[in-house]
Amino acid sequence: MKIVCEKDKILKALNSVIRAVASKTTMPILEGILIQTNDNNVKFTSYDLEIGIEYIMDAEVFEQGNTVVNAIMFSEIIRKLPDTQINITLNEQNLLVIECEGSLYKLATMNPLEFPELPKINIENSINLEQNILKDMIRKTIFAVSIEENRPIFTGCLFQIINKQLNVVAVDGFRLAWNKVTLKDSANEFSAVIPGKTLNEVNKILLDSFDNVTIGISKNQALFEMENCKIVTRLLDGEFLNYKSVVPSNWETRIRINKNSLQNCFERISLISSSTIEKEKKYPVKIAIDIGKITISCTNQTGDAKEELYVSTEGKNLEAGFNPKYFLDALKVIEDEEVFVDFCSNISPCVIRPTDSEEYAYMVLPIRLKD
Residues 317 and 289 occupy one common structural domain: yes
Q: In this structure, is the dihedral angle defined by the CA atoms of residues 192, 198, 202 and 204, taken in order, positive or negative?
A: positive
At 369 the pLDDT is 79
Query: Where a domain ends, among 114, 139, 162?
Result: 114
* 186 band by pLDDT with thresholds 50, 70 and 90: confident
* 223 and 278 together in one domain: no
Q: Does residue 326 lie in a domain region?
A: yes
Q: Where are the alpha helices (DSSP H) in the chain?
A: 7-17, 71-80, 131-139, 196-205, 243-246, 259-273, 324-333
Residues 138 and 86 in one domain: no
pLDDT, tens only, 29-38: 999 999 999 9
pLDDT at 230 over 60: yes
Residue 369 lies in a domain: no
pLDDT in tens, 244-302: 999 998 999 999 999 999 999 999 998 887 754 454 456 789 999 999 999 999 988 87
| Residue 90 resides in a domain | yes
**Residue 115: band (very low, low, confident or very high) from pLDDT cuts 50, 70, 90:** very high
Q: Is residue 192 a contact partner of residue 159, using CB atoms and an 8 Å limit?
A: yes
| Largest CA-CA distance found in the chain, in angstroms, rounded | 81
Mean pLDDT across the stretch 30-50?
A: 96
pTM of the complete model beyond 0.85: yes
The answer to whether residues 20 and 94 belong to one domain is yes
Is 120 domain-assigned?
no
Residue 119 lies in a domain: no
**Residues 173 and 204 reside in one and the same domain:** yes
Residue 121 sits at φ, ψ, to 5 deg, of: -105, 125
For residue 367, pLDDT beyond 80: yes
Whether 300 and 323 share a structural domain: yes
Domains held by the chain: number: 3
Residue type for position 250: N
265 found inside a domain: yes
Beta strands 285-290 and 293-299, pairing class: antiparallel
pLDDT at residue 133 is higher than 70: yes
Given a contact cutoff of 8 angstroms between Cβ atoms, the answer to whether 260 and 268 are in contact is no
Shared-domain flag, residues 96 and 184: no
Same domain, 130 and 241: yes
Which 3 state secondary structure label does DSSP give 107? strand
Of 85, 114, 143, which one is at a domain's C-terminal end? 114
Judge if 131 and 74 occupy the same domain. Answer: no
Give Cβ neighbours of residue 318 (< 8 Å, ≥ 6 apart): 252, 253, 287, 288, 289, 343, 345, 346
CATH of the domain at 8: 3.10.150.10
Residues 101 and 178 in one domain: no
CB atoms within 10 A of CB 279: 8
Contact present, 157 and 138 (Cβ < 8 Å): yes
SS3 370: coil
The last residue of a domain, from among 205, 223, 245: 245
* Percent over 90 (pLDDT), the chain: 87
Full residue range of the structural domain in which residue 146 is found = 125-245
The rounded distance, in Å, linking the Cα atoms of 282 and 287 is 16
DSSP per-residue codes, 194-231: EEHHHHHHHHHHS-SSS-EEEEEE-SSEEEEE-SSEEE
Residue 371 maps to a domain:
no
The kind and range of the H/E element at 258 are strand 253-258
pLDDT at 371 (0 to 100): 60
Which of 84, 106, 83, 87 has its CA nearest to residue 95?
Answer: 106
255 and 240 within one domain? no
Do 149 and 65 have their domain in common? no
Q: Across all residues in the chain, what is the average pLDDT?
A: 93
